[in-house]
Amino acid sequence: MEFLNWVRGPGLEYATVIFLVGILMRFLEMWLIGRKPDLSRPRASASRAGWRAVWRRSLPSEGLMKNSPLVMIAGYVFHIGFLLVLLFYVPHIHFFKDVLGFGWSGLPTPVINFLSILTIAALVALLIHRLIDPVRRFLSTSQDYIVWAVTTLPVVTGYMAMHMDVMPYTTMLALHILSVEILMVVFPFTKLMHAFTFAVSRYYNGAAMGRKGVQL
Amino acid sequence: MGGLSDIPVVTAADDVASDTAITPAVQALLMELADRLEVFRQTGETHVIDLRSLPMPVAEHELLREWLGVGEVRIELDSLGPTAIHETAYPGIWWVVHRNRDGEVMTQQVEVTACPEIIRSQQEDIHEGLQRLREALPTGESA
Amino acid sequence: MSPSLERGINAFVNQIDGPIASYFNSCVHCGMCAHACLFYTETGDPKYTPIYKTEPLRRAWKQNFTFWGRLLSKLGLDKKITDEELAEWETLIYDGCTLCGRCTAVCPVGNDITYMIRKSREAMAASGHAPEGLKMATTRAIEIGSPMGVTIDTLKAQIKHTEKETGLTVPLDVQGAEYLMLLSSAEIAQFNEIIGAVTEIFDRAGVSWTLSSTAFEATNSGIQIGSADLAAELVQRIVDSAERLGVRTVISPECGHAYTALRWEGPNLIGRSYSFEVKHILEVLDELRADGRLQTSGRESARVTFHDPCQLVRRGGVVQQPRSLLNMVADDFVEMPDAGVMNWCCGGGGGVSANERANPLRAQVFSRKKRQLDGLQVEKLVTACSNCRNMLEEGLEENHMEDIEVVGLTELLAEYLPEKK
Amino acid sequence: MTRPTLAQQLARQGISRRAFLKFCAATASMMALPPTMAPAIAEALGKRTRPSIIWLSFQECTGCTESLTRSHSPTVENLIFDLISLDYHHTLQAAAGEAAELAREQAMEEGGYLVLVDGSIPVADGGVYSTIAGMTNLDMLAHTVKDAAAVVAIGTCAAFGGIPKADPNPTGAKSVAALMADGSIASKPLINVSGCPPIPVVITGVLAHYLTFGTVPELDDLGRPRAYFGDSIHDRCYRRPFYDAGKFAKTFDDEGARKGWCLYELGCKGPTTHNACATAKWNMGTSFPIESGHGCIGCSEPDFWDAGSFYKPLSAATGDLSGLAGGAIAAGAVAGAAAGLYARSQKHKAAASREKMTVDDLKD
ipTM at complex level? 0.72
Which of A9, A19, A33 has its CB closest to that of D347? A33
The string of pLDDT tens digits covering residues D290-347 is: 989 999 999 999 888 887 788 888 777 777 777 888 888 888 889 888 888 888 888 8
Which of D73, D238, D260 has its CB closest to that of B100? D73
Report in angstroms the alpha-carbon separations of A50 from A45, A207, A214: 9, 4, 11
Say if CB C4 and CB D337 are below 8 A apart: no
Lowest mean pLDDT among A166-180, B32-46, C243-257, C383-397: A166-180
- Domain membership flag for residue A7: no
Q: Which residues span the domain enclosing A128?
A: 68-140
The domain spanning residue B96 has which CATH number?
3.30.1370.140
Maximum pairwise Cα distance, chain A: 65
Q: Are chains B and A in touch, 3+ Cβ pairs below 8 Å?
A: no
At D2 the pLDDT is 61
Q: Burial, C88: exposed, middle or buried (Cβ in 10 Å; 0-12, 13-18, 19+)? A: middle
pLDDT band, residue B5 (cuts 50/70/90): low
**A82 and A133 both lie in a single domain:** yes
Would you tell me how many other CB atoms lie within 10 Å of the CB of residue C44?
A: 11
**A74 and A134 both lie in a single domain:** yes
3-state secondary structure of D66: helix
- Whole-number Å distance between alpha carbons of D102 and D124: 28
- Whole-number Å distance between alpha carbons of C120 and C89: 10
Chains in contact with A, where contact means 3 or more Cβ–Cβ distances below 8 Å, are C, D
- Averaged confidence pLDDT in chain C: 93
Last residue of a domain, one of A140, A169, A194: A140
Say if CB C12 and CB C129 are below 8 A apart: no
At A53 the pLDDT is 92
Q: Please tell me which residue of chain D has the smallest CA distance to C68.
A: D339
3-state secondary structure of C277: strand
Question: Measured between CB atoms, does B67 come within 8 Å of chain D?
Answer: no
- Domain membership flag for residue B110: yes
**A128 and A86 both lie in a single domain:** yes
Say if CB C264 and CB A40 are below 8 A apart: yes
**A136 and A184 both lie in a single domain:** no
Give chain D positions within 8 Å (CB) of B48: 34-36
Which uninterrupted H or E stretch holds C407?
A: strand C405-408
Give chain D positions within 8 Å (CB) of A91: 265, 313, 315
Going along chain D from its start, the domains and CATH numbers come out as: 6-229 (3.40.50.700), 233-306 (4.10.480.10)
- Whole-number Å distance between alpha carbons of A34 and C128: 28
Which of D346, D351, D359 has its CB closest to that of C142? D359
Angle between helices C5-15 and C55-65 (to 10 degrees): 80
DSSP C292-334: T-S---S-EEEEEEEE--TTTTTTT---HHHHHHHHHHEEEEE
Task: State the best of D297, D314, D342 to mutate against chain A, taking most chain A CBs within 10 Å.
Answer: D314
**A86 and A136 both lie in a single domain:** yes
**A95 and A134 both lie in a single domain:** yes
Q: Any bridge partners for residue B78, and if so which?
A: B82
- Whole-number Å distance between alpha carbons of C96 and C113: 14
Would you tell me how many other CB atoms lie within 10 Å of the CB of residue A137?
A: 14
- Count of domains forming chain A: 2
Chains in contact with C, where contact means 3 or more Cβ–Cβ distances below 8 Å, are A, D
Q: Beta strands of C237-299 (E only): which ranges?
A: 249-252, 277-280
Which of C44, C109, C317 has its CB closest to that of A201? C109
Give chain C positions within 8 Å (CB) of D356: 229
The string of pLDDT tens digits covering residues D243-273 is: 877 788 989 999 999 888 999 889 999 988 9
- Whole-number Å distance between alpha carbons of D31 and D226: 10
Say if CB A17 and CB D322 are below 8 A apart: no
**A117 and A160 both lie in a single domain:** no
- Count of domains forming chain B: 1
Give chain B positions within 8 Å (CB) of D260: 10-13, 15
Please indicate whether, in this complex, the C-beta atoms of C138 and D347 are within 8 angstroms of each other: no
The percentage of residues in chain D with a pLDDT greater than 90, rounded to a whole number, is: 33
Q: Please tell me which residue of chain D has the smallest CA distance to A168.
A: D271
- Domain membership flag for residue B141: no
- Whole-number Å distance between alpha carbons of C385 and C322: 12
3-state secondary structure of D120: strand
DSSP D285-337: TTB-GGGGT-----TTSTTGGGSS-TTS-TTS-SS-HHHHHHHHHHHHHHHHH
Report in angstroms the alpha-carbon separations of D112 from D50, D84, D206: 11, 13, 17
In this structure, which amino acid lies at residue C225?
I
Q: Is the dihedral of CA A165, A167, A172, A173 positive or negative?
A: positive
Q: Any bridge partners for residue D192, and if so which?
A: D153
Confidence check: pLDDT of B15 > 50? no
Say if CB A28 and CB A195 are below 8 A apart: no
Q: Which residues span the domain enclosing B123?
A: 9-136
Q: Burial, C182: exposed, middle or buried (Cβ in 10 Å; 0-12, 13-18, 19+)? A: buried
Chain C, 306 to 365: residues with Cβ < 8 Å from chain A are: 313-317, 319, 338, 341-342
Give chain C positions within 8 Å (CB) of A38: 267-268
Confidence check: pLDDT of C161 > 50? yes
- Domain membership flag for residue A81: yes
At C109 the pLDDT is 93
Which of A25, A135, A191 has its CB closest to that of C67? A25
pLDDT band, residue B16 (cuts 50/70/90): very low
Please indicate whether, in this complex, the C-beta atoms of D333 and A24 are within 8 angstroms of each other: yes
- pLDDT, average across residues C68-93: 90
- Domain membership flag for residue B93: yes
- Whole-number Å distance between alpha carbons of C68 and A72: 31
Which of D339, D350, D359 has its CB closest to that of C139? D359
- Whole-number Å distance between alpha carbons of A13 and D120: 29
- pLDDT, average across residues D199-226: 86
- Whole-number Å distance between alpha carbons of C280 and C286: 10
Confidence check: pLDDT of C313 > 60? yes
Which of B10, B77, B98 has its CB closest to that of D26? B98
At D165 the pLDDT is 94
- Domain membership flag for residue A46: no
Confidence check: pLDDT of C200 > 60? yes
Smallest CA–CA distance, residue D93 to chain B, in Å, is 23
Radius of gyration of the CA atoms of chain C, in A: 22
At D318 the pLDDT is 72
- Domain membership flag for residue A5: no
- In the 8-state DSSP scheme, what is residue D79? I
Say if CB D298 and CB D221 are below 8 A apart: no
Q: Are chains C and D in touch, 3+ Cβ pairs below 8 Å?
A: yes
Please indicate whether, in this complex, the C-beta atoms of B57 and D287 are within 8 angstroms of each other: yes
Smallest CA–CA distance, residue D328 to chain C, in Å, is 17
Q: Please tell me which residue of chain A has the smallest CA distance to D330.
A: A21
- Whole-number Å distance between alpha carbons of C203 and C162: 13
Q: Residue ranges of the alpha helices (H) in C152-220?
A: 152-166, 185-189, 193-205
Last residue of a domain, one of A92, A108, A140: A140
- pLDDT, average across residues D115-132: 94
The long-range contacts involving B93-98, CB below 8 angstroms and separated by at least 24 positions, are B93/B33, B93/B37, B93/B68, B95/B65, B95/B68, B98/D22, B98/D25, B98/D26
At D215 the pLDDT is 86
Question: Measured between CB atoms, does D202 come within 8 Å of chain B?
Answer: no
Smallest CA–CA distance, residue D205 to chain B, in Å, is 13
Question: Measured between CB atoms, does A134 come within 8 Å of chain C?
Answer: yes
- Domain membership flag for residue A57: no
Say if CB C334 and CB C342 are below 8 A apart: no
Say if CB C150 and CB C185 are below 8 A apart: yes
- The three-state DSSP-derived secondary structure of chain B is CCCHHHCCCCCHHHHHHHHCCCCHHHHHHHHHHHHHHHHHHHHCCCEEEEHHHCCCCHHHHHHHHHHHCCCCCEEEEECCCEEEEEECCCCCEEEEEEECCCCCEEEEEEEECCCCHHHCCCHHHHHHHHHHHHHHCCCCCCC
At B1 the pLDDT is 45
Name every residue whose Cβ is closer than 8 Å to that of residue A89 and which is 6 or more positions away in sequence.
A106, A107, A109, A112, A158
Angle at D136 between CA D134 and CA D142, to 5 degrees: 120
Maximum pairwise Cα distance, chain C: 80
- Domain membership flag for residue A26: no
**A101 and A130 both lie in a single domain:** yes
Report in angstroms the alpha-carbon separations of A90 from A105, A178, A199: 7, 19, 28
The string of pLDDT tens digits covering residues A88-144 is: 998 888 888 878 888 898 888 889 989 999 999 999 999 999 999 999 999 999 999
- Whole-number Å distance between alpha carbons of A153 and A155: 5
Please indicate whether, in this complex, the C-beta atoms of A138 and C47 are within 8 angstroms of each other: yes
The string of pLDDT tens digits covering residues D60-95 is: 999 988 887 766 555 544 555 566 777 788 777 877
Say if CB C388 and CB C305 are below 8 A apart: no
C385-404 b/e (C-beta count within 10 Å ≥ 16 → b): bbbbbbbbbbbbeebeeeeb
β pairing state of B47-50 and B105-112: antiparallel
Chain D, 250 to 309: residues with Cβ < 8 Å from chain A are: 265, 271-272, 298, 301-303, 306-308
3-state secondary structure of C406: strand
Confidence check: pLDDT of C19 > 90? yes
- Averaged confidence pLDDT in chain A: 89
Which range is most confident: B41-55, C129-143, D76-90? C129-143
At C205 the pLDDT is 93
Please indicate whether, in this complex, the C-beta atoms of B117 and D21 are within 8 angstroms of each other: yes
- Domain membership flag for residue B1: no
Report in angstroms the alpha-carbon separations of D38 from A67, B50, D44, D126, D206: 75, 11, 10, 48, 16
Q: Is the dihedral of CA C33, C35, C41, C43 positive or negative?
A: positive
Secondary-structure breakdown of chain C: helix, strand, coil percentages, each rounded to the nearest 5 = 55, 10, 35
- Residue-level length of chain C: 421
Give chain D positions within 8 Å (CB) of A21: 328, 331-332, 335
Going along chain C from its start, the domains and CATH numbers come out as: 5-130 (1.10.1060), 135-289 (3.40.50), 295-415 (3.40.50)
